[in-house]
Amino acid sequence: MPIKVLLADDHSIVREGLKAVLKRTAPDIIVAGEASDGNQALELAKKTPADVYLLDITMPFLNGLEAMARLLRGDKKAKIIILSMHDDRPTIEKALRAGARGYLIKESAAGDVVRAVREVYNGRHYLSPSVAGVEIDDILDAPFDKLKQQSSALTSREKEIIQQIAEGLGDKQIAYKFRISRNTVHVHRHNISLKLDIHKQTDLVRYAVKEGIAKL
């Protein structure tokens, strides 16, 4: 049986490139579904679950980390590889601690994707070779610091609202999008400020970008 992959990235050129590599070099791997944002990925996963999920870390509407969290809530054994432009330890650590089994740097993903999918499918972790000096065991065994505890305390809705704020939406637009009242948006924003100890919108945007919740 072929390994079924669901590929989610908001750049069609990335999806097409990875599909071409898999088709050309890995007859045992098929792309069973494609999505351009996290919400689409979740809808596809419900209809056609995949063996391995390749998720871009920063997608519109719902980023890859939050999409991964929801997939894992529905299936604790879901095998997920995060695609990212970032090769810094904090971002990699965040992804692995959140449940990712693999982490691929986009710049070298075409050369690594086949091995990554096979390794993760067979129950192992995989990091791009270009990520030098990062040991998976060290990350998974290390204790959380205060900021990570604060970030993990955010609800799914709060993370979604942070993403919308970072992408430039106002309270009225956020309320309309999620079909909630503006007062509810205000409550969420207040709770976010308390949990993160961030009180300026510019600082919240910086936090969202740093944490992979949104991108500029």
Say whether both 58 and 88 belong to one domain.
Answer: yes
- Residue 136: its pLDDT value, please? 65
Say whether both 128 and 192 belong to one domain.
Answer: no
Compare 101 and 209 and report the one with higher pLDDT: 101
Query: Total structural domains in the chain?
Result: 2
**Res 67 pLDDT > 60:** yes
Say whether both 30 and 103 belong to one domain.
Answer: yes
Mean pLDDT along residues 92-117: 90
pLDDT digits over 136-180, tens only? 666 565 555 544 555 557 888 888 899 999 888 999 999 998 888
- Residue 89: its pLDDT value, please? 79
Say whether both 43 and 21 belong to one domain.
Answer: yes
| Beta carbons of 109 and 129 less than 8 angstroms apart | no
Domain that holds residue 46: 3-141
CA dihedral 145, 103, 76, 135 (to 10 degrees): -50
**Res 104 pLDDT > 60:** yes
Report the percent of the chain where pLDDT is more than 70.
Answer: 89
Say whether both 187 and 93 belong to one domain.
Answer: no
**Res 132 pLDDT > 70:** no
**Res 7 pLDDT > 70:** yes
- Residue 146: its pLDDT value, please? 46
